[in-house]
Amino acid sequence: MNEEIKSNEVYTTKEVQNYLKISKSTLKRLLKGGIIKANKVGGQYRVLGREILSLISPEAEKRASGVYQQIKQKTRKTIEKW
């Protein structure tokens, strides 16, 4: 699949699986966990392209890393108080 993901395009779950190269069960976990936001249309999920792009963007990784570091520091401080 060499197509460019368009931020305002609507994608099926199968298309999302193909773009992200993930299994059906992994996609279900991402949807249930709210990591990928989707809308149900006629009993089937539809995902906006911007959701796919935000998941694979370097900025998303930076944000996740930053949050992780904050949690790590907070945990360290709490442990040191013990």
Q: What is the pLDDT of residues 23-52, one digit of tens each?
A: 999 999 999 988 899 999 999 999 999 999
Neighbours of 36 (CB within 10 A): 20
Reported confidence tier of residue 22, pLDDT bands at 50, 70, 90:
very high
What are the structural domain ranges in the chain? 10-81
Query: Which pTM does this prediction carry?
Result: 0.65
75 against 63, higher pLDDT: 75
Residue 61: per-residue pLDDT: 62
